[in-house]
Structure 1
Amino acid sequence: MKKKYAILFLLAIGAINLLGCFGNAQTHSKKQGSLALGNKRPNIIFYLADDQDVYDYGCYGNDKVTTPAVDRLAKEGMLFTNAFTGQAICAPSRSQLFTGKYPLKNGCFANHTATKPSIESVTEHMGRLGYEVILAGKSHVKPSKVYQWDRAWEPVPKKNVPRDYIPLDSIEHYLKNSNKPFCMFITSKYPHGKYFDVDDPKAENIKFYPFNEDKKIAPEYVKTKAGYYRSIEEDNTQLESVLKLVDTYLTDNTLFIYSADHGVSGKFTVKDIGLKVPFVARWPTVIKAGSVSDQLIHYTDVLPTFLEIAGGKATPDMDGKSFLRLLQGKDVEINEYVYGVRTNQNILNSEIFPSRMIRDKRYKYIRNFNALEVVERNLTGKPNVDYFIKRGAYAFRNEPYEELYDMRKDPFEQHNLANEPELRAIKETLSKKMFSWMSRQGDILSDIPGRIPIVAPGGNKGFKLDQDTPTRQIPDSIKNTLGKEDYTIIEHW
């Protein structure tokens, strides 16, 4: 009997120790930040649309556009009402998602340009944590040494539509056969133009806002907008196909995020119609269905969030912060301020008109460094250079040197309050904090009056301001007059 009781006692002790081991393992997992179910870490999918306004979704209040798949995600997950990118252009916007750094710091602050070659991106950071990192669709980032995808699938041609489709077959095959945790970016080419050709479009089928209300009676605008809406619908069809694959092959321990890289109505600006983005997250094991967050989050926060979910943490040089606590239902401040950059060079309508922006939940401050009212102090005394400085200022003659908006009362930035005496302290505080941020970013602009940099890539690459583009003509007397000494050269471009 004593032997029998001794065996039972040892078995009980063993069971207690075993339970303790499980408890310690769970505690360790929490300390590491991993939200794995058992030993399986969550898969992460980020679906990115191209050039779509935050105002053009059913879940964001537009009842005239067809977005049932995005609306469904909002019902099943969390809708963010204050999500931002730092630049309303394709390449700079995407570079933030993949690096956790604003465009000025990561180096890609003009369209079609490269990230600094010394930067580590999501491919390395998540790879070190045991994740496969995949790009399915449009890239628009470089160099390849920074973005070393484990797998990368190009968009695929499809008949009777204006843009290539996401690679659905490759995505399905991967989801069906994946055997390790992964982070997949599905990057659509929709609704970016070229848009569908819609017959007999009507203004009453389009939702208008203060920034485009005057265009209701413009037939070409209505036709373009109708084609844009139809392209949104086509992208929603793609998204529905992806969600069906996710629900078929993956578990509930999957974080799925939908966003669009920037707004098309505010492209190339620092207005909210360009920088504010749709952002919807679904994660059945973590996120409460139908929840909403008005906390300020930013594209630079995405990589730090993914790292924490995977059991790692952001590096000190990243600009972003993890918003995992928001996904877990904790209403905490992630960012007091978010920032924006405007660089009009290397686009078809290239002009010298750089801007910077700072915004909190209520107020927004913009500095337009080459506004017409200050252009004289930016002149260099070199006629060929000053031609382009003046040209940029006159191209945006209606944009003042300083702008200040109360975003609660004026979300479409129609009433500039920069000269209101009672808001002077707020303007000065925001301005000071913005320039402090610019300094930390290594910005090529400063608060010192004078020369406005004309940026260009190193070597003998394109990017010439003194040449014609399909939408911009330069007088023959000014063509090819800018020398290397007239530019601020960005070697890594």
Structure 2
Amino acid sequence: MYPKTNSVGKNTALALMAIGIIAFLFSCKPPKEEEEATANKRPNIIFIMSDDHAYQAISAYSDKLINTPNIDRIAKEGMLFEKAFVSNSICAPSRAVILTGKHSHVNGLVDNAVKFDSTQVTFPKILREKGYQTAMIGKWHLKTEPTGFDYWKVLPGQGHYYNPEFRTKNGVELDSGYVTDLITDFAIDWLDEAKESEEPFMLMYQHKAPHREWLPTEENFRKYTKKEFPEPESLLDDYSGRGSAAREAEMRIDTHMGVTSDNKIHPDIAEKMGYENFLTWYPYAYHNNLDRMSPSERAAWEEVYGPINAEFEKANLQGDELTKWKYQRYMQDYLASIESVDENVGRLLDYLEKNGLAENTIIVYTSDQGFYLGEHGWFDKRFMYEESFRTPLMIKWPGVIKEGSRNTDLVQNLDFAETFLDAAGVAIPKEMQGKSMLPLLKGEEVEWRDALYYHYYEYPGIHAVKRHNGVRTDRYKLIHFYYDVDEWELYDLEKDPHEMNNIYEDPAYAEVKKEMHNKLDELMSQYKDEVVMPTEK
């Protein structure tokens, strides 16, 4: 016989059982509903941008020069873009395009001399209005106070590598340390507070490095000054296959790179040896950079660079041998500066994972433009040729972007604002001229653009790269140099990927030339741009 139970006890037991079942059902949401809830949660956004970081100097693209395991993590866990470009290859204009989603002639910032109109619509302003926490930390370079941010801490102008000043809402402060480390420290400090809120965040985490004049940390300059790097095939380019624009540009390693400021030879030694400074500010830049160091930092520097100076003085290099030596010195300091960027990107990625933030955060790594690493004998950027025009771009978004995926569509910095707004579920203003890359990130088959438009304006100006605009398709590139010249260049990127021979007058490409002119006219009309000669002003 079973033991007897009274009706009250039985009813209580049944009630408790029912409550337990209901609680279990609510705690065990079906997987589909859980996925939908996660998908509907607005993602955090971290936009990582370095300055002048060539795609050739990221091992996810090529391991010939450097290994960048932390930056590569973003590509391995997300998507690498093989054809990402800018619309104007120079620092401030690129940043304005990214913020506004509008070409330079529309947002008003056409060159580095112009002050950014901070009253116009930007994606940080829109995200902030829609409830995002927003911050801008690092290099701003727009001559105005950042707007659209709850918090900002930015370098004045170009900023310094050692013991830099930072601008804040409360004024300018001096911080002790190395700039790449400090920018990361400040970013992590802000994230520590932002993560406590229920609202998503958008952080612009922007490095000074590897911008000229390339001052690495002690650990990295001790390592990289011992290395030797392969020379590009066109290091000693004579520009015979192109027009006056390439020949007259003042960015050649042999004659325009500073032995003092750039290659770190003491001005007294350079003067004694008869090496002229192409620009008078080169010796000033040398002292301005090194004199910021603490006594211990300067002692470590001199321990390594002192012998380099002595060896250079003894060698008395000239001609091609001097160019080759300057190239090696350039690569040693430039790549050592990137090493610190990679280390600090790793610090940030580790922080996100440790604090449970990685799963719902879009992480972007890019640069404000490309950069010449000796190709065509150049340093700097500005031209529409590939090394300057093309940028690195990697985007990670767990659960949305397939790990280890690659994209070959023609994308541009013009598309960032639209992409971030779209990902956040926010309407894209009609005035923005780019396209949301969200379908590409999701791996969807969509109709995409078949050509990119480019326009560079800063001439007359430093480096003397003539004004030009142009169009690039998947295979061809048409460039028009204007203002004090009227020259056209056409390249078949499939047959001539290094752009050594202008085929504009080649009869075999007559039909291609016609099609490219039509495409250029089409894009100029679409973006409402024009070429203005001095007499037309």
Category of TM-score, reference length = shorter chain: 0.7 to 0.9
**Matching residue of 1:183:** 202
Q: Relative to 1, partners in 2 of residues 1:162 and 1:117: Cα closer, same or farther, differing over 3 Å?
A: closer
Q: Say which of 517, 520, 523 aligns to 1:434.
A: 520
Report if the CA contact (8 A) 1:97-1:302 is conserved: yes
Instruction: Please give the residue correspondences for 1:326-341 in structure 2 after superposition, counting only pairs within 5 Å.
Output: 326-341=440-455
- Please tell me whether residue 403 in structure 1 is matched to residue 489 in structure 2: yes
**Matching residue of 1:8:** none
Instruction: Please give the residue correspondences for 1:53-452 in structure 2 after superposition, counting only pairs within 5 Å.
Output: 53-116=54-117, 119-144=120-145, 147-155=147-155, 158=162, 163=179, 165-178=181-194, 179=197, 180-196=199-215, 205-212=228-235, 217=321, 218-249=324-355, 250-265=357-372, 267-345=381-459, 347-349=461-463, 353-370=466-483, 372=485, 374=486, 401-443=487-529, 445=531, 451=534
Q: Relative to 1, partners in 2 of residues 1:334 and 1:141: Cα closer, same or farther, differing over 3 Å?
A: farther
Report if the CA contact (8 A) 2:224-2:336 is conserved: no
One-letter amino acid of the counterpart of residue 133, structure 1: T
Q: CA deviation at 1:273?
A: 0.9
Alignment deviations for residues 365-398 of structure 1 (CA, whole Å, 9 cap, x no partner): 10011465x4xxxxxxxxxxxxxxxxxxxxxxxx
**Matching residue of 2:256:** none
**Matching residue of 2:169:** none
1:62 and 1:203 map into 2 onto residues whose CA distance is 18
For the residue of structure 2 that corresponds to 1:404, the secondary structure is strand
Greater shift after overlay, 424-433 or 282-291?
424-433
Q: Relative to 1, partners in 2 of residues 1:86 and 1:412: Cα closer, same or farther, differing over 3 Å?
A: same
For the residue of structure 2 that corresponds to 1:133, the secondary structure is strand
Calculate the TM-score normalised by the size of structure 1: 0.73
Alignment deviations for residues 433-470 of structure 1 (CA, whole Å, 9 cap, x no partner): 32343345443515xxx6456xxxxxxxxxxxxxxxxx
Report if the CA contact (8 A) 2:161-2:178 is conserved: no
Structure 1: which 5+ runs fail to align?
1-10, 30-34, 375-400, 454-487, 489-493
Greater shift after overlay, 177-186 or 263-272?
263-272
Q: CA deviation at 1:202?
A: 8.1
Report if the CA contact (8 A) 2:365-2:395 is conserved: yes
Alignment deviations for residues 380-435 of structure 1 (CA, whole Å, 9 cap, x no partner): xxxxxxxxxxxxxxxxxxxxx11111122222211212112232222222223323
Q: CA deviation at 1:148?
A: 2.8
Higher relative contact order (CA closer than 8 Å, sequence separation 6+): 2
Report if the CA contact (8 A) 2:478-2:489 is conserved: yes
1:45 and 1:164 map into 2 onto residues whose CA distance is 16
For the residue of structure 1 that corresponds to 2:342, the secondary structure is helix
Q: Relative to 1, partners in 2 of residues 1:414 and 1:183: Cα closer, same or farther, differing over 3 Å?
A: same
Max Rg structure: 2
Q: CA deviation at 1:153?
A: 1.7
Alignment deviations for residues 238-285 of structure 1 (CA, whole Å, 9 cap, x no partner): 211111122122140111010011122151211111110000011112
**Matching residue of 2:9:** none
Report if the CA contact (8 A) 1:110-1:346 is conserved: no
Calculate the TM-score normalised by the size of structure 2: 0.67
1:86 and 1:220 map into 2 onto residues whose CA distance is 30
